[in-house]
Structure 1
Amino acid sequence: MSIKKLYSNELLASFEYSNIYRDYDFYYVTTSDKYIKSGAAFLDIDDIKISALQFESGKSFWVMLPKSGTSRAEFVRLLNEKEDGDSLSIKSMTSCSIPEHLLTQLFLNALTSPVDEMISFNNLSGKLLCFRPSWINKDKENFIWGMQCLEVKVGNDMCVKLVAHRMTALALKKQMKFEKRKLQDYPQYEFSYNNNTLKRVSNENKNRRENFIIKPVDGERGSITFFDFTNYETFSCTKMGVLYDIFNALHDEFGKYIHVKFKEYNIDKVLEYKRTSLEAYKDVVKKEILNSGINIVDVIQSETSEDYLQDVADEIKKIIPEVKCSVGKRLSKKKFNVRYIHDKSFYLDSEVDAHQENMENYVVQHITVENFKHQSSAAVYNILKELVIKKDIANGKITLVDWSKYGYKSDWLFGVVAEGVYYFMTIHPDGLFKIEALKRNLFTMTEYDKYMDYFGLNEENKNEYRGVIGLIKDADGNINLIKDTNMYSMPDYTAMGDILKNVDSEGRFPGKDVVTWLRAVMNITDKIKVQAELDIVIPHIDVNTEYTKSDIMGLFKGIATKKEVVRYVFENTGSMLYSYLRGEEERREYLSGNIDINYFDYDDTYAKYSVGEIGNGMKYTIERASVVREIQAVEGGKLIFKKLLPLMGVEFVRYGMLTVVPFPFKYLREYIVKKEQL
């Protein structure tokens, strides 16, 4: 069995510095003012052919120019005309002295949009922004009021960030909030219908209703699907599809200067799950709900709230028909309570906040007027599950799952910090637990003070323990930290993109060739059912007719036959008739790291893990990337996190999905919310 790999977003770049030196000049420009007033408008200076611009901050940027273009003296003169010359410092740089992430970014920013391709690259504001026509939003009059764009950014750790932005026409400016930054401070852009690109607006054309700024209307944000392998068209409109085009273009345009690939890791341990096993907790939820019953409390008391909450009660009964569910005005100590209130923003200017009322002796789950969708069975079921978790917290015992099944023979400690308060949860082998909330006390030192140091809130250790989101400790005193990173796992998007592009390419095949292929498959295969189906199909093929890919695939009913034919035709002609990418073998080859729970050590102190989609029965779409988190063993201790991997094999934290940190952290978060309400 082949080793599963995790394909990361960490770039490995190598440069042909002699070629770069021969063909390009680089400058580093800084200002003594608060910021460079002209910003990326330097790109529009007609007399300078700038290949790329990359801002480090508002006070400095890097410039890449073709060697045959502008001399240094001319470049300095033209920049000083654009900006206050006394404030600028302009330094010539050799490519080998530029940090590799910035040099990589400059070459990415220098990409020119391909002709007749459904993507555009724009080095706007010193950023690489990419567009697809399908991301454009128009009204009935064909007016473009908004669009998505994707920023491709290389961090100083060489991790590629794919950031979705929302661009909005000024026609909708009244629907935007300008609190931190005024409208006039936003660069404006205009859209070119000829080549689907954006360019900066000239001063005389500013403030037109059709101009764009990079900002969403209030309540929206940029959102682009991470990956979809339904077909080449859907793939192209995802983050991975854009990355596929970007790095193909980088290779084609600048291959003699820069070579890039993404870092791969061998996965040491994989935990795979089937949905049926992940849903075992639902029996516990049903039992608890039937034992306690549901009391829905109407805090809103509007004209429609009573009918609305009766609908909620009816939805609960659809899930658990036997449940006793009532709608009332007071909390019940015997029943589970569902409390109907407004969201937090409603109470900002009010002396009374329904979220902050003391409910210490009650098990309560809030639903809000603004956000709760009772038509969603998943949302309704989430209420029931959350109530059981809250009961567990009140009773100090995990019942939603059988803790003893994990086989832990001693205590485990889980820790987090929130608003300067440290929370530690000790779980015993029988599932009983205790949560303590602690603050630092200079006069009373406890064993917990050392644990607090690991969260990096102190000045002396904030760099060493940056990004810590959780702590775990075993009975032997080994402590592991869970840390956020800029890494995420990717599918083998290059191979999958090539397959999907191949399938999408047009092809018409003579009937006589089709007959030849099928006879060859019939002679090679040892599958009796495949032979039988081919024996029936071959006589009906018209050798004088041309067949498309879909025509050929439509000849067969059996999946096994189709796969055999697809494999043979690809291996012998290079043409892919159809893509089979969801099977177990294909998932292992192309999607490992994006499905199930994956873990790997890379020395005695550090490890990494990712939690992806449930591989069994997965769909064609992966909405979000799987973040790769780092595990650090401290004080010479052992890596122990691997023992806790099963605690992420639950779906009750994120409905229908695996959870990304061990589920006791969910209990800690709920405990913190409850404490804040007291």
Structure 2
Amino acid sequence: MTPFKTNALKYNLDRKAIAKKYDVFLVKKDAKRFNRGTMCLDVPLMEKRVCAVRFDCENTFYVLMDKGDGNKTLLLNALKQTDEIDKICIPSVRISDVNDRTLIQLLLNTLGTSSNERLRINNLTGHLYCYKSDWLKKNAKEGLIEQVSCLEILVTKDLCLNISVRTFTSGKCKNQIIFSPKHPYESYPKYVLSRFQTMARKPKNSTEEEFIQRQKFHNKYNIPFLNIGKDKESFESSKMGVVADIIQRFNDRFGDLAHLDFDEISEYKSLERTRACINEDKSIRTAALDGMNIRIIDLVKENSGEYCTKAQEVVENLCGIKPTIGVNKSKDGLNICVVLEKEKYKDVEDPYSKNYDATVQHITIGGDFKNKSAQLKSVLNELVIKHDVRNKKLSLYDWTKTGFQNDVSFGMKFDLDDENEKQIYCFVTIHPNGSFDFVKKDPTDLFDYDDYTKCTEIFAGNDDVCGIVMNHKGEINVIRNTDWFTIPEIFKIREEYEKERVHEFRSKVGREEFLPGVTDIKMFEKDGSIYYFVGTVGLGMQTSVANAANIRRIEPYDDAPIFFEQLLPLMNVDFVHNERLTVRPFPFKYLTEWARMNFDLKE
């Protein structure tokens, strides 16, 4: 069993040695928070002795300086260039009093001066940003840079390393960004693209093109979590490639003063998605669709006939059933509705918002039909799930395989899309024969106390609760989100790319050596708590992994036993996310679909 790593930091800090080399200062603003985009966070870095700035909270930040007399005076003089100096105080702070999170982040932020052609880094507004040329987005017509995406490297309060995509968008694209009356475009700090192709604060009288830190509407930029393609450049342009580079630079720079690594989990239970699982699920899906009436509904009606005909052929190849094409839905069958992009329905009747009394799934017209097979396969899965929800009976999974001889309930909290920001709690109870029922509980149901009401109390004030599971005895296991995610063997992968040979990362042996924290479903115990994660399917995996495998904690409620291990196979299915595993037991998907069918939920 190969250990896998998580993003929980394992570190050494020689505080005495660090104190001999550096001074640290806490800059604090009395009572009020710093102004939005305050220059106070950036002007200190103009001083040669200033190594790093770390934004702490609304009214405080830390400054790390090379050891020297008069550092406080130098810092004060730098801050006098801002209009907030009269409200600032700089109390003395010893490095021994600085918490581990802040000290590690300050040391990381010093890497803002260690850029090279492959990876450029800067310490901007108290944050650490990493840039690559691959992440620049240019205008197709003029070739001008419209967006600059980067990765922020952040140490969380739980001492985990977090990686987030941040995007700076040109002011020329502000009509593609939605602003609130409280925060119009003018209120955002302005940045310019420096000659190093990193973002920098815009000088007061500069006429350079300006950027703000915002995404375009419905146009989020994604950087793959991991890419293990043929060349090392593909790896280096992924999040994990950047993390490997950052950690290596940190350890090289600080030597014995400070060292970073990642925590390891050596004991765990694993559930692999085998060829037998895939074939069984395929057979069950074929049986679920057998005899179904599938109809393609053309809601575009202009230049859409050829598209519908091609979609008809693809569906027939996928499931052996040739759909009919029409404009009226089938109440008893499965309806694939061909529509335009959602934005095209701003001023006309929106087919997305119709409350159909039939089983319906939309597909957007256009695009390359090479990719439509996977999309239509996903559409068929969605239709069968919705059909199951209407009929209150599972057809995509043999529930008897779970071994549950009694009812099992799954519960979630949903936000309603209304002015009062009301919340509801919904539950699905699955019976031993695979049939199920739904229940909705309202927080105002004060005089209707039952096991479901007990479940709603778990959600109150706990935003990290993403679901609960209750057995027939009323015993509850709570699923909680954490800041944890798994890390592949990034340093071994870097070394492997230096060897002149074909890299077998995705073979069974390669997955075991390089990717134990990326593939399949694993459950483990740490510090008395039970955790699990759902990775990518190892068998036949692609070279690019889009997202990290987030780790979730299973918590017994009120001294209940943990029975969640019995539910692990409920995530080893690909009908929730086409050809990907689902991160929670699949009944939560059924519950979500029922809630969407019956309530106006906030997206």
TM-score by length of 1: 0.80
How far 1:370 sits from its partner (Å)?
8.5
How far 1:349 sits from its partner (Å)?
6.1
Pair 1:403–1:46, CA change in 2 (3 A): closer
Following the alignment from structure 1 to structure 2, what is the Cα–Cα distance between the partners of residues 356 and 397? 26
Q: Is this contact kept in 2: 1:13–1:100, CA < 8 A?
A: no
The reply to whether residue 396 of structure 1 matches residue 419 of structure 2 is no
Helix, strand or coil at the partner of 1:64: strand
Match of 1:128 in 2: 128
Match of 1:312 in 2: 311
Choose from 574, 593, 598 the match for 2:517. Answer: 593
Match of 2:493 in 1: 496
How far 1:636 sits from its partner (Å)?
0.8
How far 1:660 sits from its partner (Å)?
0.8
Pair 1:92–1:289, CA change in 2 (3 A): same
Choose from 585, 593, 596 the match for 1:673. Answer: 596
The reply to whether residue 422 of structure 1 matches residue 425 of structure 2 is yes
Match of 1:405 in 2: 401
Q: Structure 1, residues 409-463: CA drift from partner, whole Å, max 9, x if none?
A: 22211111212221111112211111112223112222211111111x2xxxx2x
Q: Is this contact kept in 2: 1:290–1:324, CA < 8 A?
A: no
Choose from 556, 561, 570 the match for 1:647. Answer: 570
Q: Structure 1, residues 103-155: CA drift from partner, whole Å, max 9, x if none?
A: 11111111144465511110011111111233334568764443321111111
Amino acid at match of 2:161: V
Match of 1:542 in 2: none
Following the alignment from structure 2 to structure 1, what is the Cα–Cα distance between the partners of residues 185 and 72? 36
Amino acid at match of 1:484: N
How far 1:630 sits from its partner (Å)?
0.9
Match of 2:4 in 1: 6
Following the alignment from structure 2 to structure 1, what is the Cα–Cα distance between the partners of residues 283 and 576? 16
Match of 2:420 in 1: none
Match of 2:580 in 1: 657
Following the alignment from structure 1 to structure 2, what is the Cα–Cα distance between the partners of residues 332 and 45? 66
Pair 1:41–1:631, CA change in 2 (3 A): closer
The reply to whether residue 454 of structure 1 matches residue 458 of structure 2 is yes
Segments of structure 2 that go 5 or more residues without pairing to the other structure are 416-422
The reply to whether residue 581 of structure 1 matches residue 505 of structure 2 is yes
How far 1:181 sits from its partner (Å)?
3.2
Match of 1:635 in 2: 558
Following the alignment from structure 1 to structure 2, what is the Cα–Cα distance between the partners of residues 69 and 123? 24
Following the alignment from structure 1 to structure 2, what is the Cα–Cα distance between the partners of residues 388 and 120? 48
Q: Structure 1, residues 151-201: CA drift from partner, whole Å, max 9, x if none?
A: 1111111111111122333444444443363333333333344x4444323
Match of 1:220 in 2: 219
Which piece of structure 1 moves more, 311-320 or 433-442?
311-320
Following the alignment from structure 2 to structure 1, what is the Cα–Cα distance between the partners of residues 521 and 531? 11
Amino acid at match of 1:239: K
Match of 1:148 in 2: 149
Following the alignment from structure 2 to structure 1, what is the Cα–Cα distance between the partners of residues 311 and 24? 64
Following the alignment from structure 2 to structure 1, what is the Cα–Cα distance between the partners of residues 597 and 143? 50
Superposition pairs of residues 272-351 of structure 1, within 5 angstroms: 272-275=272-275, 277-300=277-300, 302-321=301-320, 323-341=321-339
The reply to whether residue 51 of structure 1 matches residue 67 of structure 2 is no
How far 1:378 sits from its partner (Å)?
1.1
Choose from 433, 438, 463 the match for 1:435. Answer: 438
Following the alignment from structure 1 to structure 2, what is the Cα–Cα distance between the partners of residues 326 and 451? 45
Following the alignment from structure 1 to structure 2, what is the Cα–Cα distance between the partners of residues 213 and 357? 37
Pair 1:91–1:328, CA change in 2 (3 A): same
The reply to whether residue 383 of structure 1 matches residue 383 of structure 2 is no
Choose from 471, 474, 479 the match for 2:476. Answer: 479
Q: Structure 1, residues 9-36: CA drift from partner, whole Å, max 9, x if none?
A: 0112331111121121111122234424
Following the alignment from structure 1 to structure 2, what is the Cα–Cα distance between the partners of residues 345 and 383? 21
Q: CA RMSD in A?
A: 2.8
Amino acid at match of 1:385: N
Following the alignment from structure 1 to structure 2, what is the Cα–Cα distance between the partners of residues 400 and 249? 49
How far 1:674 sits from its partner (Å)?
1.1
Following the alignment from structure 2 to structure 1, what is the Cα–Cα distance between the partners of residues 205 and 50? 23
Match of 1:245 in 2: 245
Match of 2:419 in 1: none
Q: Structure 1, residues 367-420: CA drift from partner, whole Å, max 9, x if none?
A: 345899796111112222222112211221111121112322222111112122
Pair 1:279–1:666, CA change in 2 (3 A): farther
Following the alignment from structure 2 to structure 1, what is the Cα–Cα distance between the partners of residues 142 and 336? 46
Pair 1:110–1:401, CA change in 2 (3 A): same
Following the alignment from structure 1 to structure 2, what is the Cα–Cα distance between the partners of residues 676 and 42? 47
Following the alignment from structure 1 to structure 2, what is the Cα–Cα distance between the partners of residues 633 and 284? 33
Pair 1:287–1:447, CA change in 2 (3 A): closer
Identical aligned residues as a percent: 29
Amino acid at match of 2:236: S
Q: Structure 1, residues 582-601: CA drift from partner, whole Å, max 9, x if none?
A: 33233222211210000012
Match of 2:24 in 1: 26
Pair 1:141–1:417, CA change in 2 (3 A): closer
How far 1:642 sits from its partner (Å)?
0.7
Helix, strand or coil at the partner of 1:264: strand
Following the alignment from structure 1 to structure 2, what is the Cα–Cα distance between the partners of residues 409 and 111? 57
Q: Structure 1, residues 327-368: CA drift from partner, whole Å, max 9, x if none?
A: 233332332222345666666666x654454434x3222334
Match of 1:104 in 2: 104
Superposition pairs of residues 196-211 of structure 1, within 5 angstroms: 196-206=197-207, 208-209=208-209, 211=210
Q: Is this contact kept in 2: 1:468–1:483, CA < 8 A?
A: yes
Amino acid at match of 1:395: N
Pair 1:648–1:254, CA change in 2 (3 A): same
Which piece of structure 1 moves more, 578-587 or 341-350?
341-350
Q: Is this contact kept in 1: 2:41–2:126, CA < 8 A?
A: no
Following the alignment from structure 2 to structure 1, what is the Cα–Cα distance between the partners of residues 341 and 393? 30
Helix, strand or coil at the partner of 1:670: helix
Q: Structure 1, residues 285-344: CA drift from partner, whole Å, max 9, x if none?
A: 3344341211233444x33344543333233223234x2422233332332222345666
Q: Structure 1, residues 607-632: CA drift from partner, whole Å, max 9, x if none?
A: 11111111122232222111111110
Q: Is this contact kept in 1: 2:45–2:53, CA < 8 A?
A: no
How far 1:651 sits from its partner (Å)?
0.6
Following the alignment from structure 1 to structure 2, what is the Cα–Cα distance between the partners of residues 157 and 173? 36
Pair 1:384–1:128, CA change in 2 (3 A): same
Helix, strand or coil at the partner of 1:51: strand
Pair 1:666–1:192, CA change in 2 (3 A): same
Helix, strand or coil at the partner of 1:487: strand
Following the alignment from structure 1 to structure 2, what is the Cα–Cα distance between the partners of residues 473 and 449? 12
Q: Is this contact kept in 1: 2:313–2:322, CA < 8 A?
A: no
Match of 1:511 in 2: none
Q: Structure 1, residues 217-259: CA drift from partner, whole Å, max 9, x if none?
A: 3332231111122232211111111111111111111233322
How many aligned positions are there? Answer: 588
Which piece of structure 1 moves more, 656-665 or 329-338?
329-338
